[in-house]
Amino acid sequence: MMSVTEGGGAAALAVVVDSIDKNLDGRRLALIESTPGAELKIHGGLGSEALDEPVRKLMQDALQDPRSHDGLRRIETDAGALELYLEVKRAVQELIVVGAGHIAQPMAHLGALLGFKVTVLDDRPDFATRERFPEAEQLVAADFSNPFADVLIHSRSHILLVTRGHKYDYECLIRALKMDPPPAYIGMIGSRRRVRATYVQLLEEGIGHNLIDRIHAPVGLDIGAETPEEIAVAVAAELVMLRRGGTGLPLKDVERVAERFFSEDTVKGQT
């Protein structure tokens, strides 16, 4: 299971821990995606398609739901109730930071902290160094005219464009937008004006609105970030939100515990 996820794949394993038919106890079914986007392959089996099918469905759902946890699950099947221990090895997500400047450093750091496999690209070998990026998995001396030549991009890749200049961001952006399958995230730093200039250029190049709409720009959540560290936190929060869901609003305002609570009290007081 571990080797699968290190290679960029994902896996789910279900072990029968209880059922009416005691012969089933300990039987296993595994669902393995060896590399990102590869077909899910089934290994093992519980003895009949009537049992395998609902368990396979359960595992598929667990793999797709970023909030699912390992643990016991009880399911009803046409062949009776089953208690399973479910283990999910979710795919490693990758963060590719394009440009190794002052924002890239805290960004690579936070990416690694959040469990991303981090790659830092730059065309200046003095910048993409081990000293400046101790937690990066990969440091790549890239040519920005073909930046991803030495980096495998897949559906779990998160690309952040923070090069030193608009033209480099643009060249990388257009490559990233044309990828098939598309990466999970393409973020580009820049003021509203710079973002707009990029869109003009993309339209002139014949890139459609639907592709342009995939770009996260300006990048990150709107928290007024100014320093490189603050910008990295804004982007890290956006990456977590993409991974897990949410609105970005303060949880205090989303949950409104006090508000709900006090209004219920008021209602009770009135009756």
> Of the two residues 22 and 69, which places its CB atom closer to its own copies in the complex?
69
- How far are the Cα atoms of 61, 111, 257, 263 from residue 267, in angstroms, in the given order? 41, 47, 16, 6
Q: Which parts of 20-113 are beta strand (E)?
A: 28-33, 41-44, 71-77, 80-89, 94-98
Determine contact, residues 179/158, Cβ cutoff 8 Å: no
Q: Which is nearer to its own copies, 68 or 138 (CB)?
A: 68
Least distance from its own copies to the Cβ atom of residue 214, Å: 10
Helix (H) or strand (E) holding 14: strand 10-19
Are 60 and 178 in contact, with CB atoms under 8 Å apart? no
CB of 249 to its own copies, least distance (A): 5
Do the Cβ atoms of 236 and 110 come closer than 8 Å? Answer: yes
Rounded CA-CA distance 251/265 in Å is: 22
* Residues forming the site for its own copies (CB under 8 A): 66-67, 106, 109-110, 113-115, 192, 195-196, 199-200, 209, 212-213, 215-227, 229-230, 233-234, 236-238, 240-241, 243-252, 254-255, 257-258, 261-262
State which residue, 46 or 86, has the beta carbon closest to its own copies. Answer: 86
Residue with Cβ nearer its own copies (72 or 203) = 203
Nearest distance from C-beta of residue 199 to its own copies, angstroms? 6
Considering beta carbons, is residue 9 or 220 the nearer one to its own copies? 220
Nearest approach, Cβ of 151 to its own copies (angstroms)? Answer: 24
For residue 141, give both structure tokens: 């001396």
* Least spacing, CB of residue 264 vs its own copies, in Å: 10
